[in-house]
Amino acid sequence: MAPTPLLLRSAAATSTPLRLTTSTARRLLSTTPQPAASTGTSTNETKPKLKPLTPSQKAFLSSALRVNQAGELAATLIYTSQTPPLLRREPHLRPLMSHMYEQEAAHLLTFNTLLAKHRVRPTALYPLWSVLATGLGWGTAMMGKEAAMACTEAVETEIGGHYNGQIRTLLEMVGQWEAEGYDVGEEFRELISTLRRIRDEELEHLDHAVEHDAQKAQPHWLLTGVIRAGCKGAIWVSERV
């Protein structure tokens, strides 16, 4: 089966300018293969067409989806491994830990679905990130509540910035398409709003961590510094491998 084009834009990749009817536009956004559009139109609609993605835009999107999935996998594993040792000493944190875990599991499901839909390969280092994330979660929880929360603070600081960077790049693409008179496409707009929602949820986790004494971890600067450097490295590698 041929790969599904990223964000289905290459369906419009033709050197012949298209005048899309509403139904044609719907077909471009559909995930179901559609018969070729009839050229004998009975309408004069002049809906703007989607601009095909450039190779570098495709590469950016593939790498963004891949690294996001790896990050969300790591997040679910951090919370999974933190929760048992943490709740043994701090059982009142159960609702908070469940809430954050459930949001991470939903983020992971979102990116699993997007990777499968667009035939993007996951990071080759999936097993390594799994081991490291599990170790990080368990290790910080064994150090105590403050260290566990400092871990969340550090991770979410990096991840929040990471999602913001992606959103900025996608908005630049949108601005450029709009300036050139192209349609942005519902699927692309939906991706941006998904990333914004996930970014906001990550920043909510960051707030929860600070409210639960993350900054009382000892030594806070060292713990968060090491974890943030690790996240930066993992992001850099997962974007490429």
Q: Judged by CB under 5 A, does residue 205 bind Fe ion? A: yes
* Tokens representing residue 168 in the block: 């900025």
CA torsion, points 224, 230, 233, 238, in degrees to nearest 10? -120
Q: Judged by CB under 5 A, does residue 202 bind Fe ion? A: yes
Q: Judged by CB under 5 A, does residue 162 bind Fe ion? A: no
For Fe ion, the closer of residues 75 and 136 by Cβ is 75
Give the contacts of 37 (CB within 8 A, at least 6 positions apart).
Answer: 21, 23, 24, 27
- The least CB distance from residue 23 to Fe ion, in Å, is 37
Binds Fe ion by CB under 5 A, chosen from 75, 78, 97, 231: 75
Give the range of 56-64, 101-109, 138-146, 220-228 binding Fe ion by CB under 5 A: 101-109
For Fe ion, the closer of residues 178 and 207 by Cβ is 207
Q: Which helix (H) or strand (E) holds 59?
A: helix 55-89
Distance CA 78, CA 1 (A): 36
Give the range of 55-63, 73-81, 85-93, 227-235 binding Fe ion by CB under 5 A: 73-81
- Residues of the binding site: 72, 104, 107, 156, 202, 205
* Tokens representing residue 205 in the block: 């986790």
* Chain residue whose CB lies nearest Fe ion: 107
Number of residues near Fe ion (by CB under 5 A):
6
Give the range of 97-105, 171-179, 181-189, 218-226 binding Fe ion by CB under 5 A: 97-105
Could you give the string, one character per residue 15-54, with x where binding to Fe ion holds by CB under 5 A and - elsewhere? ----------------------------------------
Distance CA 117, CA 111 (A): 10
* Tokens representing residue 23 in the block: 């139904």
Q: Judged by CB under 5 A, does residue 199 bind Fe ion? A: no
Give the contacts of 164 (CB within 8 A, at least 6 positions apart).
Answer: 199
Q: Judged by CB under 5 A, does residue 107 bind Fe ion? A: yes
Residue located via tokens 């809906």: 47
Q: Judged by CB under 5 A, does residue 208 bind Fe ion? A: no
Distance CA 174, CA 45 (A): 22
- The least CB distance from residue 119 to Fe ion, in Å, is 23
Distance CA 94, CA 80 (A): 12
Give the range of 134-142, 198-206, 216-224, 229-237 binding Fe ion by CB under 5 A: 198-206
Distance CA 5, CA 30 (A): 12
Give the contacts of 210 (CB within 8 A, at least 6 positions apart).
Answer: 149, 153
For Fe ion, the closer of residues 51 and 205 by Cβ is 205
* Tokens representing residue 181 in the block: 């008179």
List residues near Fe ion by CB under 5 A: 72, 75, 104, 107, 202, 205
